[in-house]
Amino acid sequence: MLHGCLLLLFISGSLADLNLISAVANLTSRPLEGITKNNKDFIQIAIENGYNAEKHEVITDDGYILTVHRIPPGSNCTKKIPILLVHGLLLSSECFVDSGPDAPGFILAQECYDVWFGNVRGNFHSRRHVTLDPDHDLKFWKFSKDEMGQYDIPAMVDYVLDVTNAKKLIYIGYSQGGGSFFIMNSEKPEYADKISLFIGLAPATRQYYTKSILDRSLVKAIESLQTPLEASGVWEVASQGLPIQGTLNTLCQVKLLAAVCNLGLSAVDSPHPGSITSETTRRMFEHVPAGTSIQNMAKYGQAMNELHFVKFNYGSEENLKVYGVAEPPEYDLGMTTMPVVIFHGESDHLVDTRDMDWVVSQLPNVLEYVTVADPLWNHVDMAFSQYWKKQIFTTMKKYLNKYDNI
């Protein structure tokens, strides 16, 4: 999950207009045509770094059209198990390649894995549906990570296994990408047999102890205003190409200002000087924020009220219609039965250590719960740090090798 850039946008809007709905509307107005035309997408970044790359389409059971990227193994590689990486909130597949030659996606490709990169519903790669128009149909945006776990993740898993003719894959979920994986297992436990190993990079479930004041303030505000926002036509948050997003994109391309953009991220998460390079920051702002729904942001606000990992809370009356009970049911983390490795940073202000400890205590097959050695390691570092290879991959590699069961 990466609220940082959205919060920078929110603050900018709020300074101009202290009315909260107006400030949120500044984040959700229609994108400007051409504002992102010079930005490099996943395919271009991969080619720039010497890799072949592919673009695939996956259609979910409820009709969302998802883009999935792939870096296939080189011709000199021995066949290995496919790996599926799924991004966090307000991110896209580019988050795994934005940090240059030693980005997570490229490190895995160097190891000859068949590497796949998902994009969940509502981000700028997956803003499509077989019948619904995201610009005119509120129904398109009536989703949270609940639906991502129930529909998007299973669809991507099935697609990767079908294309590669593999029996199992390794799944790496960053933040929301980890939380939605737990939802899949709870709702569709048969998928446990399709996963050789799950690696969680600070997976987001409950967020009762989130430290970030800015993060907490934003998602709680959106939670409280979901109904009036949607009634006024505000369905989407932080779409790629917003005027203010384009302004930040432009500013962060300037070397002298990239350091200021890094400071902005630190204000949301926690400071980690030098971990994310200025070049990575400039590239990051070409793709971040990648967009999601108002309802999904409200879901994160709800997660800060709960000591358990529960489904979306529609209110007692609607819950009775949807779930048959007044309170939203809990997800069963015990259904994540495959081998699990979890990475967490001590300075993560978005997924707090106490919340992460709780998640790990609910999982039945944890091989290792890794606290990153660097005491300043934060949430954003999990995808973008220049030290990812040393701090994460060195430990990850031994488990990848052990569970490379094609």
* Catalytic center residues: 175, 379
CA distance 78 to 80: 6
Q: Which region holds residue 389: left if phi is over 0, alpha if psi is between -120 and 50, else beta?
A: alpha
CA distance 185 to 203: 14
CA distance 255 to 281: 10
What separation in angstroms does the CA of 396 have from each of 87, 96, 176, 368?
Answer: 17, 15, 19, 10
CA distance 273 to 224: 35
Half-sphere exposure of 284 (CA within 13 A, CB side): 28
Collapsed DSSP state (helix, strand, coil) of residue 340: strand
Sign of CA dihedral 371, 377, 379, 381: negative
**Beta strands 169-174 and 114-118, pairing class:** unpaired
In this structure, what token pair is assigned to residue 306?
């709960």
CA distance 237 to 298: 11
